[in-house]
Amino acid sequence: MNFDLSKEHLMLQEMYRKFTETEVKPLAEEVDEEERFPVETVKKLARYGFMGIPFPKEYGGAGADNLAYAMAVEELSKACGTTGVIVSAHTSLCAAPIYEWGTEEQKQKYLVPLAKGEKLGAFGLTEPNAGTDAAGQQTKAVDMGDHWLLNGSKIFITNADYADVYVIMAMTDKSQGTRGISAFIVEKEFPGFSVGKKEKKMGIRGSATCELIMEDCIVPKENLLGKIGQGFKVAMKTLDGGRIGIASQALGLAQGSLDETVKYVKERKQFGRAIAKFQNTQFQLADMDTKTEASRLLVYKAAKKKDAKLPYSKEAAMAKLYASEAAMEVTTKAVQLHGGYGYTREYGVERMMRDAKITEIYEGTSEVQRMVISASLLK
């Protein structure tokens, strides 16, 4: 058993940190405050290969692995949860299912520009009446002979109005239940496709979260992803991978808020000495660090299992469950240790606390993760 990162991963970490410090951190507050999607950062992320980290070079990727990808989301999220989720949703929820389930033609047409970062990806599963109960899909896809006709809407879609390509779930046969769901690759330009209202959110406010609307949306026959009726499987497997991304985002938020707190408690003086000298501060920091490190071990383990092509669904669920709840706890303590200043928007920790909350909810709530984990025990 070896906990050391390889030379490549150490160098990647060094590069991610430098990039984050220089390109991401200075924008984090503004992106949150103005609820602005950081288009300029996404261009730079594309230039340096962040948008296709775990995909082979022949498909436009960087030829690295899922650990390298998880570490990227972690480092970006240390400074900006918004930037972390842009990369995570694009990579795990759109490029990955096309890589896993797509035909060679689909990979050439869609994965290559996605992995190069020339196009941005998104994923549509959730509907107003189908959240955790994903089988309650109301979006319908009808075979019209020479094309598919999609009707319905999706909500809470990350990257929505900035994405070019979407992986969309729709019912092809309602009578079959989950086996009646199919996956489709939909382009923003397809007739009948539009982006609806943008959500006003508590956190990750720079991330564009919108509704997707399909009204007689014409999708070419060849854009079915996987086989007819495989959509639920595609979605569930995709979310397994996505959980590594969100767990990494949560890990980054926890580490980022801890780093800010360590700096702050050394500077802030009360009763004539730095608050770092008080045992309460020390004990809080110890707990924050321990939980963050435990999250990291779970996240990296899930990523390594995926890289080894071993089953990783349970590990990804554990990583996401633990890292997201740890992120909520650590960022809340970070605000507490910052006191009144922590509650102001001058310091980044309140933003991290707001950003952390969503990691317990999206891509499977903490409750869903507990279902996945216990199901593996009780099967």
Partner 1 sequence: MNIVVCIKQVPDTNEVKLDPKTGTLIRDGVPSIINPDDKAGLEAALVLKDRFDAKVTVLTMGPPQADKALREALAMGADDAILLTDRAFAGADTWATSMTLAAAIRKIDYDLIIAGRQAIDGDTAQVGPQIAEKLELPQVSYVKELDRDGDHLFITREFEDRMHKIKLKMPCLITTLAELNEPRYMSVAGIMDAYREKEVTTWTRADIVIDDAALGLKGSPTRVKKSFTKAVKAPGKKYDVDAAQAAQIILDNLKEKYII
Residues serving a catalytic function are 363
Beta pairing, strands 165-171 & 121-124: parallel
Binding site for partner 1 (CB under 8 A): 6-8, 11-12, 15, 18-19, 47-50, 53, 57, 61-64, 68, 72
Encoded tokens for 182: 């199919």
Which residue's CB is nearer to partner 1, number 10 or number 308? 10
Task: Check residue 120 and report its DSSP letter.
Answer: -
Burial bucket for residue 63 (CB in 10 Å: 0-12, 13-18, 19+): middle
Shortest CB 19 distance to partner 1, Å: 6
**Closer residue to partner 1 in complex, CB, 48/341:** 48
163 within 8 A of 209, measured Cβ to Cβ: no
What is the three-class DSSP state of 17? helix
**Residue 375 C-beta: closest distance to partner 1, Å:** 35
* Least Å from the CB of residue 12 to partner 1: 5
Identity of the residue, 117 or 124, whose beta carbon is nearer to partner 1 in the bound complex: 117
> How far is the C-alpha of 367 from the C-alpha of 213, rounded, in Å?
28
> Cβ of residue 38: shortest distance to partner 1, in angstroms?
17
Residue 215 CB, nearest approach to partner 1 (Å): 39
Residue 310 identity (one-letter amino acid): L
Please, are residues 209 and 160 in contact by the beta-carbon 8 Å criterion?
yes
Q: Is 54 helix (H, G, I), strand (E, B) or coil?
A: coil
Pairing of strands 181-187, 165-171: antiparallel
* C-beta of residue 69 within 8 angstroms of C-beta of residue 9: no
Crossing angle of helices 66-79 and 231-267, rounded to 10°:
50
Nearest-CA neighbor of 79 among 21, 126, 40, 36? 21
